[in-house]
Amino acid sequence: MNVSKLVLTLALASVISSAFAQSFSEFIVIDEIREDIDQLVSNFGDQANVYVIEGFSPSAIEQISKTLENIRIQELHIYAATKPGAIVFNSISITSDNQKDWAPILKEWAHVVSDKVIIHSEVVFSGAEGIQLKQELENTTGLAFTSHN
């Protein structure tokens, strides 16, 4: 197969894959250790665009990435425990010290999310550690990261 046919085949495969992908304006991820998990689950119900992280294996980041396969979204909303400079899931914490360990998986989110990732927290991006985490996540993924309460 010559190069032009290979490029055309790959482009066609990408178009077909995108055509079968589910599309949502937003996708909501809730970690099971959130104190208000019952209220959040009650508010969002059994919508197709809601995922609750459960268990320790695979990790929360791996569960999110697996769930996002074959969908396209504008905004990814994450409800997890936080502290300044850390997103704390049931199985792991993402900090500026370890986010590079998760970079290959986090980079995949850029293929799914077209706008931004919103961490529902008042403090996650506060202080020097929070600002550093935000910058590193944005540099790793190419996506905008914001926080919202």
Q: pLDDT tens digits for 12-53? A: 444 444 444 677 889 999 999 888 988 988 888 678 889 999
Only one residue has tokens 């900090």, namely 95
Sorted by sequence, the CB contacts under 8 Å of residue 67 that are 6+ apart come out as: 29, 51
Q: What percent of the chain has pLDDT over 70?
A: 85
Element (DSSP H or E) covering residue 146: strand 144-148
Only one residue has tokens 């926080």, namely 147
Q: What is the band of 143 on the pLDDT scale with cuts at 50, 70, 90?
A: very high
Sorted by sequence, the CB contacts under 8 Å of residue 122 that are 6+ apart come out as: 147, 149
Q: Residue 135 has which token pair?
A: 């910058």
Q: What is the band of 56 on the pLDDT scale with cuts at 50, 70, 90?
A: confident
The neighbouring-strand residues paired with 50 are: 28
The average pLDDT across 108-114 equals 93
Q: Residue 102 has which token pair?
A: 């998760």
Question: What are the DSSP calls for 67-117, one per residue?
Answer: HHTTEEEEEEEEE-EEETTEEE-SS-EEETTTGGGGHHHHHHGGGTEEEEE
**Would you say the pTM of this structure is higher than 0.95?**
no
